[in-house]
Structure 1
């Protein structure tokens, strides 16, 4: 008989359950900690991202304010904004800053009309006060190596009233100038020695010329007047022009007219908000091929591509893009808004891929139309403290002119496509752009200098900022 107390027996199943529970609890605790850490990290990253966006947008706004007074600082702030956070707003701001200084004052004289040859070398500007039209050779203006720019080379005189419209052929050798009673034809083969070769009389002496258009070769001219008539002229013999037709195009004054390169297609717009497409295959019998369905808004502007397939029509602060692949059935491909409130003039490059728009503002806007169904804003150009009446573009969009109450500005935009495609590369290619600590404190809204600058450095190399810093 064994008198020793019975040995305590353990339950192996209970120990297993305890160990399992402990492991589950540990795993759950680890998962909770990981999830909490990830949530904290996500919230932290989101907060930092919001800070970067706010900082970038703030720098871009300061850059916009400084473009006139301190263009170098404006450029550096614009670059920093894009480097810190690249989005549509900061990229557009950098592009605008980079092109801001491309403009120069051609003349301070108020002008209501401007025209430009295809190569951007010959320009016409109509003086509001004198009624004269100045002829400019822009060769020296487009050469950055030439410091002393040439003055106007000639003046077109003879109108008794203020000049209401001007037109220039693609090669710059034929010009039209029109006033209340007549349109003059000018030979500009030698721009410094213009010759008035003919007068195109209106149907009635009281018919004021509202708009003029020339085919690229200068052989076909169209005149639109206050009575709503459109007159087609053959200028093959410039000194002996032949009137081919007079057509009642609209019931009110024709506000604008545009002509394809070959003179075969025209678009007209009146003061009551109506626009029409005209087939000039037989210039002596123009045929209206279609009306454009538009909101009824007064005083529309219009433009047409060289091949006659793309038409722009403005309605105050909106621009409609139309395709004329089928002239009898124009198709609206896009519509976009321009922050002008109203629009006084537009220009379109012959290829139909770049438009320049201006109105009662100190700025005008370039839009890219390479994709007719998806127009994109390219850049804003600032040239005046007052409204802009008339604009013109060279054939490839490399030269732009703007005329208004503050004078005439010339813009060299020959590498604009490169700037728009990659503004960061364009800004940082040739310069070591920097911001000082003082500028950072002034414009960065309290953002920590050390989060973006190299430790120990007193300047911030903005082109070296890495997105996602911090």
Structure 2
């Protein structure tokens, strides 16, 4: 009986020891993975290849939200490129992401992104044209879905209509004076319907003007309506059909405009949306509106324009909100502010917004962002220039960053020098590097595999 009790006690002690050993080993793996992920983030700009390998190693060793997000950000960063180093305050994209506008100073550059989106083309094209004619800085750009009609708004209060049927040879077709008379001065915000036939201009005098651009050379002013606060506008959006517009004024008041009868705009939800909003974006169908300010954004359903319904409020790691963009279906958002990255959010489940990735690569703030209709192309602009991201295939990267990284670089390796530099003294034999001069990242042992390797080497003995 005594022998049986002794055996049971030894087994119990062994189980307790094993649990403690496993717990300690798991904590070591988590600490190693998080440390590698941190080094990867620090190396994204200086050594992107090393950053990718370290980030992948972190996920292989311990996959959690932190390591996965870090690897996703690194993989997305590899899809970015500098369009131009020149500062830009405004950007716009056509629906298919092929034509881009970037505004700086008193002119707007026109870009054909065809070569930029073809990885087989090494020599990328420069801007193909410049839109000039403003006396002051350009503070607004808008582009129709097909990229054939553009609006540029200057701080002198004039909005110029451009025919971009041949984007390399833009034609100035008309100038739209702001406000109730041609002498009104001040900056403007501008938006176009999907077909480019309807334009809405919001100026610094607090006037919202609706124009019919069916004949771009003979615009017809349909209405001028004074906003409730008669203050400067900081943002404006228009639905694809031109039937609903949303404005944000300098006081942060958000107003929904029903343009079913463009000659008589109606404020259908005046001051119903949250006050003190900094920026706003709207889905193409006009049924979803995203508003945001420092540290927070909110998604609203406008199915009933007179009674917007809040569907989600979520925290955003931005000290302020400088710009935001939505895909046509309202399922993906891009938010930017005074940081070196713009943040992509998944809004496909409106009640549960989820962070997708950070588009990094700036040393200064981002002033303006744009997304193609399907979210496959993104632009971000600021004092540091304009960057372009090819986000086609992002869903696969987010779903399984480990698979995406190994598929793109199956021979990824970490040598002993880098392991010693970044792994904090961890024994790489535990992770598949025993007897090797390099560690094959895609074959790294993780979890119980790493522990088993340690036991096989005799690194840990069971109690007797």
TM-score range, shorter chain: over 0.9
Matched, 1:183 2:183: no
2:457 maps to none
SS in 2 for 1:388: coil
Is the CA contact 1:290–1:330 (under 8 Å) kept in the aligned structure 2?
A: yes
> 1:355 Cα deviation (Å)?
0.8
8 Å CA contact retained: 2:322, 2:368:
yes
Q: 1:170 to 1:48 in 2, by over 3 A?
A: same
**Match of 1:149?**
124
Distance 1:87 1:292, change over 3 A: farther
Q: 2:272 & 2:17 partners in 1: Cα distance?
A: 56
Q: What pairs up with 1:90-109 in 2 under 5 angstroms?
A: 90-109=67-86
TM-score, normalised relative to structure 2 = 0.93
Task: Determine helix, strand or coil for the equivalent of 2:19.
Answer: helix
Q: Indicate whether 1:193 and 2:169 are aligned.
A: yes
Aligned to 2:417: 438
Indicate whether 1:365 and 2:323 are aligned. no
Contact map agreement 1:295 1:315 (CA 8 A) in 2: no
Q: Secondary structure at the match of 2:319?
A: coil
Q: Is the 8 A contact 1:209 1:223 kept in 2?
A: no
Tell me the CA shift for residue 294 of structure 1.
5.4
Name the residue aligned to 1:345. 323
* Distance in 1 between residues matched to 2:425 and 2:21, nearest whole Å: 18
- How far apart are residue 92 of structure 1 and its match? 0.3
Confirm whether residue 44 of structure 1 aligns to residue 21 of structure 2: yes
Quote how far apart the aligned CAs of 1:66 are: 0.7
Aligned to 1:244: 222
Q: Deviations over 1:363-414 (max 9, x none)?
A: 1111111111111111111232111111111111111111111111111111
CA spacing shift, 1:291–1:50, aligned 2, 3 Å: farther
- For 2:315 and 2:354, the matched residues in 1 are separated by 11
Stretch of structure 1 that moved more, 170-179 or 243-252 = 243-252
Residue among 118, 131, 135 paired with 2:110: 135
Deviation of 1:324 after TM superposition, in Å, equals 1.4
Match of 2:254 in 1: 275
Q: Structure 2 regions of 5+ residues with no counterpart?
A: 452-464
* Secondary structure class of the residue paired with 2:268: strand
Structure 1: stretches of 5+ with no match in the other structure: 1-22
Offset of residue 34 of structure 1: 2.8
**Where do 1:374-453 residues align within 5 Å?**
374-431=352-409, 432-453=411-432
- Is contact 2:45–2:361 with CA below 8 Å preserved after alignment? no
TM-score by length of 1: 0.92
Larger CA Rg, structure 1 vs 2: 1
More off after superposition, 438-447 vs 25-34: 25-34
Per-residue deviation at 1:293? 4.5
Task: Using the TM superposition, give the Cα deviation of residue 454 of structure 1 relative to its aligned residue in structure 2, in angstroms.
Answer: 3.9
RMSD: 1.5
Alignment pair present for 1:34 and 2:11: yes
- Per the TM alignment, residue 147 of structure 1 is displaced from its structure 2 partner at its CA by 1.3
Moved more, 29-38 or 176-185: 29-38
Is the aligned partner of 1:55 residue 2:55? no
Shift of 1:33: 2.9
> Residue 288 of structure 2 is aligned with which of 304, 310, 314?
310
Equivalent pair of 1:250/1:270 in contact (CA under 8 Å): no
Deviates more, 1:26-35 or 1:39-48: 26-35
1: CA distance, partners of 2:275 / 2:115: 45
SS of the residue corresponding to residue 201 of structure 2 reads: strand
Q: CA deviation at 1:250?
A: 3.6
* 1:356 corresponds to: 334
Larger mean Cα displacement after TM superposition, 42-51 or 286-295: 286-295
Q: Whole-Å Cα distance in 1 between the matches of residues 127 and 194 of structure 2?
A: 24
For the 8 Å contact 2:75–2:405, the answer to whether it is kept is yes
1:180-259 paired onto structure 2 within 5 Å: 180-203=156-179, 204=181, 205-251=183-229, 252-259=231-238
Q: In the TM superposition, what are the counterparts of 1:167-182 in structure 2 within 5 Å?
A: 167-179=142-154, 180-182=156-158
Cα offset, 1:26, TM superposition? 4.8
Q: Aligned-pair distance for 1:28? A: 4.2
Q: Match for residue 90 of structure 2?
A: 113
1:59-101 per-residue CA deviation (whole Å, 9 max, x = no partner) reads: 0000001111111111110000000000000000000111112
CA contact (8 A) 1:229 1:254 kept: no
